[in-house]
């Protein structure tokens, strides 16, 4: 009967060992995961939206709007770059805290690996970017997360400045080049102006052809001038910084170790192992009686 099968479990000695061992497992793990034995790690998170980067879109949308998926991925690459990690190390002295000398062979990579384990940057399903930092100092974890957001804007501005400057110079040179060509055409056009008495077919065709070429060159000059003006204005406008939705703040409790979860897990494991062992012992005793 079922009552006979579980009667061994309801014995006072069995219940005493079960509950005392479960409670002991819980508090032992709770004690050994305390700050006395395990240095706690705190986690802070900053959430941002990446702004428009392309100036043409900024110009059309008056600087209002969020970046496309490609721009978001590019911004994440900047946040994960070794250039940013070097700046982070310089600001917080992380290599000294970790006891790593970047000047030694493999030291820089060792520092990057250590930071990579403590920093997580990913795109959320809402197209925002999550910057999460874990550190043994709660205030430093928050400061590092906010610094990553700030340094990302600085590095992206620096990277794109050279590209914008090159594009500006090219647009200026093309505009001035076309202006000189149009001025030369105007001089030629004035010299070949159709005289009132000259109505030959060849003269009229030549005059119309030059007039058409001149109008096409004027159109091209206007296009290059517009491009040049856009690039000139882009040099006067600073790239928009990331939209910070939630700046990182100091955590009030550690993210690691999860003491409550580990303690409950230890208690459950003890209960399962204890019941399994008792079932085997019961079967052995039954066989010995036969």
For 239-248, the pLDDT digits (tens) are 778 899 999 9
Range of the domain at 162: 25-263
CA dihedral of 129, 134, 137, 139, whole degrees rounded to 10: 10
Residue 162 covered by a domain: yes
Measured in whole angstroms, how far is the alpha carbon of residue 86 from the centre of its chain? Answer: 16
The DSSP letter of residue 195 is P
In a domain, 290, yes or no: no
* DSSP category for residue 256: B
Rg (CA), the chain: 37
Residue 101 lies in a domain: yes
Q: Tell me the pLDDT tens digit for each residue of 65-81.
A: 677 888 899 999 999 99
**Is 278 among the domain residues?**
no
CATH of the domain at 213: 3.30.1890.10
Q: pTM for the complete prediction? A: 0.70
232 domain residue, yes or no: yes
First-last CA distance in the chain = 19
How many domains, in total, are found in the chain? Answer: 1
What is the torsional sign of CA 184, 187, 188, 189?
Answer: positive
Residue with tokens 């690691």: 256
CA 278, CA 289: separation in Å to the nearest integer?
17
277 belongs to a structural domain: no
The span from the CA of 21 to the CA of 163, in Å, is: 68
On whether residue 120 sits in a domain, the answer given is yes
pLDDT tens per residue across span 210-241: 777 777 888 888 888 888 887 777 777 677 78
């Amino acid at each position: 009967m079922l009552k006979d099968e579980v009667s061994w479990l309801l014995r006072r000695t069995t219940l005493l060992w079960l509950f005392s061992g479960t409670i002991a497992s819980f508090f032992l793990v709770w004690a050994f995961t305390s700050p006395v034995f395990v240095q706690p790690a705190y986690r802070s998170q900053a959430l941002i939206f990446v702004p428009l980067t392309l100036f043409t879109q900024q110009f059309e949308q008056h600087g209002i709007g969020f970046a496309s998926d490609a721009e978001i991925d590019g911004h994440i690459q900047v946040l994960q770059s070794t250039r940013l990690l070097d700046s982070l190390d310089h600001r917080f002295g992380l290599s000294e805290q970790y006891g790593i000398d970047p000047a030694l062979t493999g030291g820089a990579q060792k520092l990057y690996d250590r930071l990579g384990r403590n920093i997580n940057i990913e795109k959320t399903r809402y197209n925002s970017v999550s910057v999460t930092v874990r550190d043994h100092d709660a205030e430093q974890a928050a400061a590092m997360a906010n610094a990553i957001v700030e340094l990302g804007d600085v590095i992206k501005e620096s990277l794109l400045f050279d590209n914008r400057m090159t594009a500006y110079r090219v647009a200026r040179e093309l505009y001035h080049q076309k202006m000189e060509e149009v001025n030369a055409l105007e001089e030629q056009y004035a010299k070949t102006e159709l005289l009132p008495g000259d109505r030959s077919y060849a003269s009229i065709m030549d005059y119309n052809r030059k007039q058409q070429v001149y109008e096409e060159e004027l159109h091209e000059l206007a296009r290059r001038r517009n491009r040049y003006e856009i690039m000139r204005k882009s040099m006067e406008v600073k790239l928009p910084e990331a939209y910070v939705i939630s700046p990182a703040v100091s955590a009030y409790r550690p993210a690691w170790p999860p003491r409550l979860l580990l303690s409950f897990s230890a208690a459950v494991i003890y209960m399962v192992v204890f019941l399994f062992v008792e079932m085997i012992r019961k079967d052995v005793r039954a066989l010995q009686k036969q």
